[in-house]
């Protein structure tokens, strides 16, 4: 990577880190990235789509259309580490490394702008990955531009430093937050039989969860994690009359997550009918499975080999989720990790900060994917 481009990308990363914005609030971030590309490139077209944008390097008619994606939202966390580029905004910080992902994609854009390429290259800058509703806003890029293939990476702690890690098939599990809301009728605590209490119905649902996620009932990993049970009020004279059961449901295969959701909804409706309760459902942070196409994953492997990068074949999918799967449902593509180091602080922790050196690793990997 050109040394000047690297310095510009690192400086950009630090500026983004100082100005974190949460999912669907990334107004300054988006404009700053646009300004950076307009200032430092001369051959790119910028397409502003409101909450997101992309840049295009035009190689010409009849050329393949290849996209690269970076996310740019931050997390609702405080910055506690002492770095010169620390967040200027309490309660907001880039603790997942999306500042580094965007700086990598911008640095790659500088290289392509200066070196040229034999493909039409689309640089996609995406909001709101953390809440799972960013990629779905951007899928028109795939449809409108007949994207042939799309690539991305995520920094990952616990993996060897600068090592490229990936697998064929599912790289990230599908997941969503599910709330079952049940409502009956209040009663004096001394006369519970005159009211309708949802506690027993919710307890019955909880007791059935192990059966739904049992290994012998599913092809792959299926999890149902209870995150909150909120029933009644702190009022010892009143029997509970409404309650919420909140869970994260997760699966290696999206179809099995959908089946788990169906089982939970069916059981909740049965329990509601049994006890005379009203029941409703709501969903948050919905992520598809992110699955690598083998052809595209093999291109990542070859690019890593051509650039002299260490490669690690993952044995299992990452249990976390990524909304990137919306893109690979529409076109071929692959997603990899680049290691932060085995002992480096994990993402989503206070001690974490993106390692600037990974910018060059990511840029060189992307260059290898387009023959540069």
Contact (CB, 8 A) for 286 and 132: yes
CA distance 112 to 54: 14
306 — pLDDT class (breaks 50, 70, 90): very high
Task: Say what the pLDDT of residue 66 is.
Answer: 98
Task: Say what the pLDDT of residue 292 is.
Answer: 98
Task: Say what the pLDDT of residue 370 is.
Answer: 98
Range 135-163 average pLDDT? 98
Domains and CATH numbers, the chain: 3-171+289-369 (3.40.630.10), 174-286 (3.30.70.360)
The SS3 of residue 90 is coil
Task: Say what the pLDDT of residue 239 is.
Answer: 97
Task: Say what the pLDDT of residue 109 is.
Answer: 98
Range 109-134 average pLDDT? 97
Range 132-150 average pLDDT? 97
Contact (CB, 8 A) for 283 and 178: yes
pLDDT digits over 61-108, tens only? 999 999 999 999 999 999 999 999 999 999 999 999 999 999 999 999
Torsion 37-39-43-47 (CA) sign: positive
For the full predicted model, state whether its pTM sits above 0.75. yes
pLDDT digits over 21-60, tens only? 999 999 999 999 999 999 999 999 999 999 999 999 999 9
Task: Say what the pLDDT of residue 281 is.
Answer: 98
Task: Say what the pLDDT of residue 215 is.
Answer: 95
């Amino acid at each position: 990577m050109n040394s000047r481009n690297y310095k510009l990308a690192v400086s950009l990363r630090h500026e983004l880190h100082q100005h974190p914005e949460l999912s669907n609030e990334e107004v300054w971030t988006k404009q700053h990235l646009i300004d950076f590309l307009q200032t430092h490139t001369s051959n790119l077209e910028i397409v502003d789509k409101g909450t997101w944008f992309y840049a295009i390097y035009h190689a010409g008619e009849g050329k393949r259309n290849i996209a690269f994606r970076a996310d740019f939202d931050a997390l609702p966390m405080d910055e506690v580490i002492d770095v010169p580029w620390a967040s200027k905004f309490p309660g907001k910080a880039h603790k997942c490394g999306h500042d580094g992902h965007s700086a990598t994609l911008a640095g790659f854009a500088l290289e392509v702008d200066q070196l040229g390429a034999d493909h039409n290259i689309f640089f996609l800058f995406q909001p709101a990955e953390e809440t799972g509703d960013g990629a779905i806003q951007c899928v028109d890029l795939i449809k409108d531009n007949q994207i042939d293939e799309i690539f991305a990476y995520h920094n990952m702690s616990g993996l060897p430093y600068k090592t490229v890690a990936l697998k064929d098939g599912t790289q990230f599990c599908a997941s969503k937050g599910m709330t079952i809301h049940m409502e009956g009728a209040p009663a004096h605590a001394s006369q519970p039989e005159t009211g309708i209490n949802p506690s027993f119905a919710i307890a019955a649902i909880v007791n059935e969860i192990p059966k739904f996620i049992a290994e012998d009932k599913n092809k792959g990993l299926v999890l149902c994690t209870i995150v909150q049970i909120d029933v009644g009020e702190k009022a010892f004279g009143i029997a509970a009359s409404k309650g919420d059961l909140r869970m994260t449901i997760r699966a290696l295969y999206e179809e099995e997550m959908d089946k788990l959701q169906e089982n939970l909804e069916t059981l909740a409706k049965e329990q509601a009918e049994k006890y005379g309760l009203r029941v409703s459902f709501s969903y948050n942070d919905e992520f598809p499975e992110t699955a690598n196409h083998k052809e595209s994953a093999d291109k990542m492997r070859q690019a890593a080999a051509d650039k002299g990068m260490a490669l690690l074949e993952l044995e299992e999918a990452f249990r976390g989720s990524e909304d990137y799967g919306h893109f690979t449902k529409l076109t071929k593509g692959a997603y990899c990790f680049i290691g932060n180091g085995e002992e480096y602080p994990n993402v989503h922790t206070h001690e974490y900060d993106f390692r600037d050196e990974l910018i060059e690793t990511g840029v060189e990997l992307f260059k290898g994917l387009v023959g540069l």
